[in-house]
Amino acid sequence: MNSQTVRQSIDGPAGPIECALDLPAGPAVGLAVIAHPHPLHGGTMDNKVVQTVARAFLQRGWRTVRFNFRGIGGSAGQWDEGRGEIDDMAAVIAHHVQDGEALALAGFSFGAYVASQAAARLGHDRVRHLVLVGPATRNFAVAAVPEHTLVIHGEQDDVVPLAATLDWARPQNLPVIVVPGVGHFFHGQLPLLKNLVARDLA
């Protein structure tokens, strides 16, 4: 993400997991772990949306960790249909979080599904911020989330229809920020996406 990004490998349930860490300029507010989109459709921790979300957390003083799901980049293993990928994120959180440290989880598309499930597994009271961008609500069982969750979706998302995310959010009385005229990958609107996340963290 920048020249100070530290690449490392940690032990995961399917073998090594490749991670990328970035540190804020001053003391860290806490740890933010960000999950990438679908591994079988080109998703990696270097996805532009994932990096944009990480930059927003960095700007607000959070340590950020991006990671590659099993079978991607330097991470061992193979696609597990969204089950083992939750275990991957849990392993990354467990490795990096410090005792008593504030924790934030985020994800884009498939990664938002994984982040929602990881948050549910940890317990919502343990997660200070949960940020879901273009959550994969049509193809995966995105978990119910706490009321403070930030959900951002493009109006013209051609991968996950906005209607699917509204149908998921409605029973939870959960607001969804809709970015007008924007597709799944937020082309041309990444600065706006970063500002929306940073504003929520303020």
Q: What is the CATH number of the domain that holds 95?
A: 3.40.50.1820
**Is residue 168 a part of any domain in this protein?**
yes
Please give the tally of structural domains in the chain: 1
Cβ–Cβ under 8 Å, residues 47 and 73: no
In a domain, 194, yes or no: yes
pLDDT of residue 2: 77
Q: With respect to residue 69, please indicate whether it lies within any of the assigned structural domains.
A: yes
Does residue 1 lie within any of the structural domains?
A: no
Q: DSSP string covering 82-128, please?
A: TTHHHHHHHHHHHHHPPTT-EEEEEEETHHHHHHHHHHHHH-GGG-S
Q: What is the pLDDT of residue 9?
A: 98
User: Which stretches in the chain have pLDDT values below 50?
Assistant: none
Confidence (pLDDT) at 129: 98
pLDDT of residue 3: 80
Contact between 31 and 97 (Cβ < 8 Å) = yes
Q: Is the residue at 59 inside a domain?
A: yes
Q: What is the DSSP string of 134-200?
A: S--TTTS-PPP--TT-EEEEETT-SSS-HHHHHHHHGGGT---EEETT--TT-TT-HHHHHHHHHHH
Domain coverage including residue 137: 6-201
pTM over 0.85? The answer is: yes
Q: Give the Cβ contact number of residue 139 at 10 Å.
A: 14
